[in-house]
Amino acid sequence: MFSQSTSQHLLMLEHPHVFTYGPNADLEKNLKCKPHEVGAELVKVNRGGDITYHGPGQLVVYPILNLAPKHGVNGPADLQAYVHGVEQLVIDTLEQLEVRNVGRLVG
């Protein structure tokens, strides 16, 4: 859908109860419940990381961008800096809205 688009998109979604896990996830160690017993789905996805929960009341934001033509000072776009910048923008915005206990997890 987006592969031929030159537009940028921002999807803001609220998911049903779901646990997603990547190919390197350690389900035995890190999944503390049986998803079907708590009304959740368990879905394998093609991304890094371990296990992630999404559910009602949690807003998930997906920026859909083509970063290939964007270049940093010394070459291709710095994806880690991009993700950090988006994360900081969200933190700053929530703090301005006086949402408490907002911050970045170490790791």
- Residue 107 scores a pLDDT above 50: yes
Q: What is the mean pLDDT of the chain?
A: 84
Question: Buried b / exposed e across 24-59, counting CB within 10 Å, b at 16+?
Answer: ebeeeeebeeebeeeebeeeeeeeeeebeebeeeee
Q: Give me the mean pLDDT over the 16-25 stretch.
A: 94
Structure-model confidence comparison of residues 18 and 103, the more confident one = 18
Q: Would you state the pLDDT for residue 2?
A: 47
Q: Would you state the pLDDT for residue 66?
A: 75
Instruction: State the Cα–Cα distance between residues 24 and 10, nearest whole angstrom.
Output: 28
> Mind listing the pLDDT tens digit for each residue in 55-106?
999 988 888 877 766 665 666 667 788 888 888 998 999 999 999 888 887 7
